[in-house]
Amino acid sequence: MPYPFILPTTSAFSYSSSFTCDSHPSLPLTASTHRGVVRDALKKHKRLPPSAQASNLSTISSALASYLPYLLAVDAGLAHRRIGDGSELFSIIQRASPPLSIEWRPTLSDVFIPGKRENARVKVHTPEHEIAFVLATQGYVLTLLARSALQPLYSTTTSLDLYGIGSSDRQVAITTATKYLLDAASLYDYLARRSEQPQPGQPHAVPCADISASTARAQSHLALAEATLLAVLKDDPYPAIVAQDRNKNDKEWMYKAPEVPKVRAHLFARLCLAAAEHAAKAHSLCAWQAGPGVGASLRLGSKKGPEESDEATGGGKVNEGFVRYLEDLRRMSRAKACRFFGIDAELSGQNGDAIGWLHAALQELGIEVKDQPKKSSGFSKFKKEWNDKREDRKIEKGTAWGADAGRLEETRVVEMLEAKWSKQNDTMFSQPITPAGNLLAQMPSAREIHALKPYQVPVLDSRTLEAIRAPPDRSDDFGDEPSSEEDTLKERAPPGSFPSGSSYY
């Protein structure tokens, strides 16, 4: 957690080839310049190793934030809308129909073509869809920044003070990640509301599921669910205890037992139920998007022309891995709520109810609860240890760790508490264990903790507006750049010649 998004890439485009602006002549050139920076940043990020991508996210976020005001200005000019305080009106003339022909490679939807390992490219013909791709990409970056802030909390090799509930390092990491997730939730909410509004003069359908209104709304719910879970994680000592027990560099166990402070268990349980409801809404919004599109028709063997053989013009469904992640997040959130209800019961001396709530948590996680605990076989123990070590390696390498929405981590915590409380119940309390079904029927309502703030749409300031009133000082040649699939070459050697060392890098 959060979800490990993959950033898309895009083709080059020259705004001057499609638009002219009488009131601000330099606007098309400036928009092309900033878009070129975004394209180059995304292309370089794709080629970085996973361990180096986290440090490059801030560069991409700055490039997207710089490009978006110019893109919105072009869109406002085409729609004859004023921007900022209402004093600026752009007189943009459309020179081509359709005005745009830009390619994006989606990463959240499946748009396949035979013989390709990556998704097919989709064509964007309207500024509205270009804005949607830019906003969606910025949302991906914010979510990945939250992941990079949380990564040390799950590492088994860190030496930072990240396990104590009151430690400053832990609080800073969770607070930073929460801010990024709430910003992403606000951005996706704005994108969803913008996509749901009818756009006059835009007959083109949404090219892929990545930028559909329902996907944006689902991602807003997803970011809000993960931010809600972080509010619980800030004061939840048990995941930190489990991680501390697996950390080879931790020496605190030699002189100090892990502290388990009393938690506001009932409140945390209701917050987890709110996160589960958000995850359920996100899952329902994405699960239905399974209709056949261009990707599906290509897989079925439909014949396309030579120009359409390596690109798609629309369709596709949301990636099954993302839909499965949403379902796993819902299950994990409900299991975490059951665990906190169990902690609340255990603090009240109701050990039978506490163990029953843990059984309900395992049931939510899809794990069979056995009446008579048996010693695990050698193979099952080896398989469990191998899965744990594989997840730990993913965390250290910065790859797709947490792709199970935290189900493995929550399973570790529940199993630890179930073993401890069952031993206490067998030796001291001897209370009957309440059936999980009876407890789930008594589950209270959810409680929200975060409220979305309106997304602040970036606009050009007065200084920039005055600067782009001047005529352009150079030609707009950003549409002549090579494709994002091609390696960057200084020059190409003629066919049959031996490539020199100065031609490639």
Q: Digits of tens for pLDDT over the chain (505 positions)?
A: 789 999 999 999 989 888 888 888 888 899 999 999 999 999 999 999 888 888 999 999 999 999 999 999 998 888 777 776 666 667 777 776 667 889 999 999 877 666 667 778 899 888 999 999 999 999 999 999 999 998 888 766 655 555 555 578 888 999 999 999 999 999 999 999 998 886 655 556 888 899 999 999 999 999 999 999 999 998 888 887 776 666 555 545 443 445 555 678 899 999 999 999 999 999 999 987 654 433 333 333 333 433 333 344 345 688 888 999 999 999 999 999 999 999 999 988 899 999 999 999 999 998 887 765 555 555 555 555 556 566 556 555 556 667 788 888 899 899 989 988 999 888 887 889 999 999 999 899 999 999 999 999 998 888 888 888 888 877 676 665 655 554 443 444 444 544 444 333 3
What is the three-state SS of 70-123?
HHHHHHHHHCCCEECCCCEECCEEECCCCCCCEEEECCCEECCCCCCCCCCEEE
Domain residue limits at 350: 263-268+323-374+383-448
Co-location of 103 and 13 in the same domain: yes
Co-location of 395 and 457 in the same domain: no
Query: Nearest to residue 58, comparing CAs of 146, 182, 131, 187?
Result: 146
Task: Estimate to the nearest angstrom the gap between the alpha carbon of 461 and the chain centroid.
Answer: 30
Co-location of 408 and 473 in the same domain: no
Co-location of 441 and 455 in the same domain: no
Co-location of 443 and 463 in the same domain: no
Tell me the C-alpha distance between 198 and 213, whole Å. 11
How far apart, in Å, are the Cα atoms of 414 and each of 1, 239, 357, 369? 18, 10, 10, 12
Co-location of 350 and 467 in the same domain: no
In a domain, 348, yes or no: yes
Co-location of 303 and 342 in the same domain: no
How far apart, in Å, are the Cα atoms of 47 and each of 40, 44, 456? 11, 5, 32
Co-location of 307 and 164 in the same domain: yes
Task: Estimate to the nearest angstrom the gap between the alpha carbon of 342 and the chain centroid.
Answer: 31
Co-location of 55 and 112 in the same domain: yes
In a domain, 504, yes or no: no
Tell me the C-alpha distance between 126 and 124, whole Å. 6
Q: Which two tokens stand for residue 156?
A: 């088994």
Tell me the C-alpha distance between 113 and 137, whole Å. 23
Strand duo 121-124 + 102-105: pairing: antiparallel
Co-location of 355 and 206 in the same domain: no
Q: How many domains would you assign to the chain?
A: 2
∠ CA 257-168-222, nearest 5°, is 100
∠ CA 391-394-400, nearest 5°, is 105
Residue after which a domain boundary falls, among 409, 431, 448? 448
In a domain, 249, yes or no: no
In a domain, 241, yes or no: no
Tell me the C-alpha distance between 452 and 253, whole Å. 41
Phi and psi at 252, nearest 5°, equal: -65, -25
Q: Which two tokens stand for residue 280?
A: 């359920």
The SS3 assignment for 283 reads: helix
Co-location of 125 and 229 in the same domain: yes
Strand duo 109-110 + 9-10: pairing: unpaired
Co-location of 51 and 33 in the same domain: yes
Q: Contact, 398 vs 154, CB < 8 A?
A: no
In a domain, 16, yes or no: yes
In a domain, 301, yes or no: yes
In a domain, 439, yes or no: yes
In a domain, 458, yes or no: yes
